[in-house]
Amino acid sequence: MSEVIRFDLPQSAIPSHWYNVQADLPRPLPPVLHPGSHQPVGPDDLAPLFPMQLIMQEVSQERWIAIPDEVRDIYKLWRPTPLLRARRLEKALDTPAHIYYKYEGVSPSGSHKLNTAAAQAYYNKQEGINGLTTETGAGQWGTALAQACSFFDMECVVYMVRISYEQKPYRRAIMRSFGASVTASPSDTTNAGRAILEQDADSAGSLGIAISEAVEAAATSGGKYKYSLGSVLNHVLMHQTVIGQEALQQMEAAGEYPDVVVGPTGGGSNFAGIALPFLRQNLTADKQTRLLGVEPAACPSLTRGKYAYDFGDTIGMTPLVKMYTLGHGFVPPPLHAGGLRYHGMASIICELWDQNMMSMSAIPQMETFAAAIAFAKAEGIIAAPEAAHGIAGAIREAQAAKAAGDERVILFNLCGHGHFDMSAYDAYLGGQLSDYEYPQTEIDRAMEALPQVG
């Protein structure tokens, strides 16, 4: 009889609540500050951008937040997602490690992003908002929000980082198929975009620039639109914890418990989704699972950034958040194919890193794509370039287990498929990509422009 390699759950096992890690953190998160007064922001300061229910979730200290029935019904389209043991990859690596992956690519949008997009669209609809503005890098978030808005008959306005807009035409087509408008950022449709284009008419764009444009579009809409963010914020990370909660049940069914949990880190939502429920076990149940984030060497916000207050966008429209940052003026190199290119990181993840409650690796682009190809050949799934960072981190762990001769249990989050990211694979296979390490001189220059907060 063959060994079980896939662990599925019934729909009744879809979590009924999101897990809010703020209730269990050893110290409270640093306050978010008003960009002008540098005083802590209150709900009224955020109301022009977010519905009140999400603002309350952002600051909540309750451990469990109930998932609305309407959102949970949407989750049933793809949740629970499967947990698989990567037996063929283990064999290819000749490792004694046991490798498991949680596969979020089965969602209608092809990634984990729909877990929060559905929730955010729901709460905005409840408040009577007509539509949402947002930014997107590689396109997975824009795809998810476009679908979520279509579920609730809402408009969706997407500012897509220009380099991705040009490299990923099929992502644009998916968003538009669901009724979203998609504009390459920087654009001439906002003051923020025009200011960037005046400085660099050929700007490849960045998430920070696209955020500036999306925030401006919402703030100047006269209440017609609110702004929606796919990562970084506390409530976004909380919505993703359905991933780790399901994984806890599935690892129990597999009869094992992870020694290490791996997830890519760009803004933090993917890593948080798989890791935070296991962190709760570390904090409350005396478990000792190591939590490993993986970021690109080309955008090393946690491993090389400074823990300081900075703007969440390029122009300086957003509140100030204390985070590990490369500077809000950071523009990633266009040669880096994939997402995970935000200049900062979620406040929750920054606190975990600052308090030594997680580990980090910065992995170069070529190693990341080599890992993705190895995984595809063994397990049959083409991963999104963002997700491939998690694969690369897991493979490093498996190789370390082989060197040490131990059977460590590795769990990673395969956060999305790469079916619409094949131009990046084509460039890699054609020898058109190379490694890029962000220069320290650029980081030092960016640090000089950080806001001066007392």
Could you tell me where the DSSP H helices lie in 220-296? 234-239, 242-254, 269-284
261 vs 96: CA distance, rounded Å: 17
Give me the number of domains the chain comprises: 1
Asked if the structure places residue 167 within a domain, the reply is no
Q: Enumerate residues 6+ apart whose C-beta is below 8 A from 31.
A: 40, 41
Q: Enumerate residues 6+ apart whose C-beta is below 8 A from 367.
A: 392
What pLDDT shows up at residue 335? 55
Q: Quick one: angle between helices 191-199 and 207-219, nearest 10?
A: 150
Q: What does each C-alpha distance from 2 to 6, 26, 305, 349, 377 come to in angstroms?
A: 12, 45, 47, 40, 21
Q: Report the amino acid identity of residue 273.
A: G
Asked if the structure places residue 80 within a domain, the reply is yes
What pLDDT shows up at residue 7? 97
Closest CA to 351 of 413, 447, 283: 283
Asked if the structure places residue 106 within a domain, the reply is yes
Q: Report the amino acid identity of residue 303.
A: T
Which range marks the domain in which residue 337 is found? 69-110+235-447
Asked if the structure places residue 135 within a domain, the reply is no
Closest CA to 51 of 131, 126, 118: 126
Q: Which residue has the tokens 């390490």?
A: 437
Asked if the structure places residue 45 within a domain, the reply is no
127 vs 383: CA distance, rounded Å: 36
340 vs 293: CA distance, rounded Å: 12
Q: Enumerate residues 6+ apart whose C-beta is below 8 A from 183.
A: 157, 158, 159, 160, 189, 213
213 vs 17: CA distance, rounded Å: 33
Asked if the structure places residue 164 within a domain, the reply is no
Is the preceding omega at residue 30 within 30 degrees of 0, hence cis? no
Q: SS3 of 245, please?
A: helix
CATH code, domain carrying 367: 3.40.50.1100
The length of the chain in residues reads 454
Asked if the structure places residue 163 within a domain, the reply is no
361 vs 212: CA distance, rounded Å: 29
Asked if the structure places residue 405 within a domain, the reply is yes
Low-confidence ranges of the chain (pLDDT < 70): 1-2, 334-339
Q: Quick one: angle between helices 385-404 and 365-379, nearest 10?
A: 80
Q: What is the largest CA-CA distance in the chain?
A: 67
**Structure-block tokens of residue 352:** 């975990």
Secondary-structure percent of the chain, ordered helix, strand, coil, rounded to 5: 45, 15, 40
Closest CA to 383 of 372, 370, 393, 374: 372
Q: Enumerate residues 6+ apart whose C-beta is below 8 A from 202.
A: none
Q: SS3 of 399, please?
A: helix
Q: Strand 260-264 and strand 306-311: pairing? A: unpaired
Q: Report the amino acid identity of residue 311.
A: F
Closest CA to 186 of 164, 215, 206, 167: 206
Q: Report the amino acid identity of residue 259.
A: D
